[in-house]
Amino acid sequence: MAFVTGSGGLGRVHRRGRSEVDRRVVVRMQTPGPRELAKALCGHWWNREQAVNNASDWSNIHQFHVPIEDGIVNGVGILSESYYDWNFANLEPYLTVVQGLTQHEDGYIVARKYMIEKPIKFRGGTREPERMECLKPDSVLQPESDEDLKCALHWTYDAETDVWKGVTCPGKECKVVRGGVETYVDGSYELGKEQFLSLDVGRSLEADIIVWGSGAGPFDFRKVESFASLVPELDPVAP
Quote the distance between the C-alpha of residue 115 and its chain's center: 16
- What pLDDT shows up at residue 18? 45
Q: What is the pLDDT of residues 43-76, one digit of tens each?
A: 999 999 999 999 999 999 999 999 999 899 999 9
Q: What is the pLDDT of residues 117-151, one digit of tens each?
A: 877 788 899 999 888 888 888 888 887 678 889 99
* Sign of the alpha-carbon dihedral angle for 86, 89, 94, 99: positive
Task: Name, in order, each residue with C-beta under 8 angstroms of 158's C-beta and a sequence gap of 6 or more.
Answer: 164, 165
Give the bridge partners for 219, in sequence order: 198
Q: How many CB atoms lie within 10 A of CB 178?
A: 11
DSSP code at position 188: E
Phi, psi of 215 (to 5 degrees): -100, 0
- What pLDDT shows up at residue 145? 78
DSSP code at position 113: E
- What pLDDT shows up at residue 217? 93
Q: Is 48 left (phi over 0), alpha (psi -120 to 50) or beta?
A: alpha
Gap between the Cα atoms of 148 and 130, Å rounded: 30
Task: Using CB atoms within 10 Å of the CB of residue 149, give its burial: 0 to 12 exposed, 13 to 18 middle, 19+ buried.
Answer: middle
Q: What is the pLDDT of residues 178-237, one digit of tens each?
A: 888 999 999 999 999 999 999 999 999 999 999 999 888 999 999 999 999 999 886 555
Strands 43-46 and 61-67: antiparallel
Gap between the Cα atoms of 142 and 146, Å rounded: 11
Which amino acid appears at position 91 of this protein?
L
Nearest alpha-carbon partner for 45 in 74, 92, 83: 83
